Amino acid sequence: MDTLVTDTLLVTMDPTVPGATGDLGIVDDGAVGWTDGEITYVGPAAEVETADADRTVNGDGCLTLPGFVNAHVHGRHTLLRGAAQDVPEIEWMTRALGPVASHATPEDGVVGAKLTAIEALASGTTTLGEYAEGVATLVERVYRPLGLRVVATETINEVPDDRTDGGPDEPYSFDRGAGETALERAEALFERFADDSLVTPAYGPQALDMVSLDLLETITDRARRGDRTVHMHVAQGDRERRQIAARYGEGATTVGVLHDERLLGDHLLAAHLHGATPGERERLADAGVRMVGCPSSIVAIDGIVPPIVEYREHGGVVAFGTDQAPGPGGHDALRELRTTSMVSKAERGDPTAIDAAAALELATIGGARALGIADRVGSLSPGKRADVVVCDLGRPSVAPTVRSPFHTAIPNLVYGAGSDVVRDVFVDGVQLVSPGGIVGVDVGDVVSEARRRAERVFADAETDWRAAGSTMVDAVDNGRL
């Protein structure tokens, strides 16, 4: 085999692995090895010969687990980190972020995506569910050169970028030509990356208030016929609720319209769902709709905890995502794991709501299932791709750890760890993070370029940002920012 990580505490997320115990598939003194990026051995270290491996990675004192799957990311907006936060939900998109984002160039977005990838990799993320207009550029310029796995979702909508003129209860105008052009980009994405093992395309109708029903029906039909994923923001807050009521009539809801139009099914990955009722969420889960919740983002933007616990109770497939950096802050998977568990406990008034094991499930096999790639990643299983993370249990944020009478490494990782615990990251068997940092990347250069570009974007946007009149303007004028 090419590489063998040995003498390590394994959390495989596969209870069928030889020598594994419990739902998480824990192997106390384990090893995982691969050849040409395919896992060929998982199990006790004593049952594999290190001499059989071209390279041996010492996992002593480490926890080794599947790479994290961050299922919902808008990477280019990381350049605008800090641009929109602490405002009412109805203002966030159109009056806070929008006036700044409109001054960012496509090249600015590429640099933002580089920052996203760096932060994600450093925290053990091996797969990103990137959601963007012109996502092929980000794949080709950022994610593919770095070697990250990506589910590339092409944004499809029919509304103008500038929506500051219309009131919140005035339906957005639709441009069918823009929607058709976006759908053509999505189809080109499927063709371009059909044979790329690291890239899985998906359709991205942005939301029901941003695409016409006939276009959404076309997208859904193609997805069903091609066994493809439709990744869509669904029931994501008061802004969408008001738009749906304005377009489809008082009392209409996103989930209700999708159900009535027979657009629900296991082809659909629904982001957010905090604007849906409990009954609607149960209906979605029963229909096989997958969910991705973004706790840091939705708590920061909407002041609401996503219904991750409830959706799991309904038997639905659930993943986590970091969404975008403006507002919630960024793309650190370990930080998001802790946030997911903590806010879920608080929202339910139940400290058992999302335990450490459930959090790891959301970030690994749950994310893979949600993105439709669980046949390839999400667990350390023979035949799957070698997306592997090795975490140093000697770091102060997780130390000390013990293995008896139970493994404290699991809660310590979820509740205490920062990205400094991540020692090695492999994607498709290739090492992308080593103890020396991200392989082949000058992080300082990327950060410096991002700062220069952000300074220009914010300066160019000042007049428009002030004219939009979000509550952030008052915060600045009162010396709070």
| Residue pLDDT, tens place only, 129-161 | 999 999 999 999 999 999 999 999 999 999 976
The answer on pLDDT for 163 being more than 90 is no
Kindly report the pTM of this predicted structure.
Answer: 0.96
Cα end-to-end span (Å), the chain: 55
The answer to whether the beta carbons of residues 340 and 320 sit under 8 Å apart is: yes
Distance CA 164, CA 155 (A): 20
Which of 344, 440, 425 has its CA nearest to residue 392?
425
Q: What integer pLDDT is reported at residue 173 of this predicted model?
A: 87
Strand spans (E) along 370-471: 388-392, 422-427, 430-434, 437-438
Express each pLDDT in 402-433 by its tens digit. 999 999 999 999 999 999 999 999 999 999 99
Q: What integer pLDDT is reported at residue 41 of this predicted model?
A: 98
| Antiparallel, parallel or unpaired: β 430-434 and 437-438 | antiparallel
* Helix (H), strand (E) at residue 107: helix 106-122
Express each pLDDT in 338-382 by its tens digit. 999 999 999 999 999 999 999 999 999 999 999 999 999 999 999
| Antiparallel, parallel or unpaired: β 125-132 and 199-205 | unpaired
Sign of the CA dihedral 181, 187, 188, 193? positive
Coil, helix or strand for 334?
helix
* Helix (H), strand (E) at residue 436: none
The CATH code for residues 3-66+379-438 is 2.30.40.10
Mean pLDDT of the chain: 96
Find the range with the poorest average confidence among 65-69, 76-80, 92-96, 265-269: 92-96
Q: Quickly tell me which residue has 């013990």 as its tokens.
A: 402
Other C-beta atoms lying within 10 Å of the C-beta of residue 416 = 16
Strand spans (E) along 55-183: 55-58, 62-66, 68-73, 125-132, 149-156
The answer on pLDDT for 70 being more than 80 is yes
**For 281-304, what is the mean pLDDT?**
96
The answer to whether the beta carbons of residues 95 and 461 sit under 8 Å apart is: no
Distance CA 152, CA 157 (A): 16
Q: What integer pLDDT is reported at residue 237 of this predicted model?
A: 84
Structure-block tokens of residue 463: 């007049």
167 pLDDT band, cuts 50/70/90, is: confident
162 pLDDT band, cuts 50/70/90, is: low
The superfamily CATH assigns to domain 68-371 is Metal-dependent hydrolases (3.20.20.140)
What residues does 70 pair with on adjacent strands?
A: 128
**For 32-46, what is the mean pLDDT?**
98
* Helix (H), strand (E) at residue 284: helix 278-286
The answer on pLDDT for 113 being more than 60 is yes
Q: What integer pLDDT is reported at residue 168 of this predicted model?
A: 76
What is the percentage of the chain residues whose pLDDT exceeds 70?
Answer: 99
What is the percentage of the chain residues whose pLDDT exceeds 90?
Answer: 95
**For 86-99, what is the mean pLDDT?**
92
Where, residue-wise, is CATH 3.20.20.140 in the chain?
68-371
Distance CA 6, CA 29 (A): 8
The answer on pLDDT for 222 being more than 60 is yes
Where, residue-wise, is CATH 2.30.40.10 in the chain?
3-66+379-438
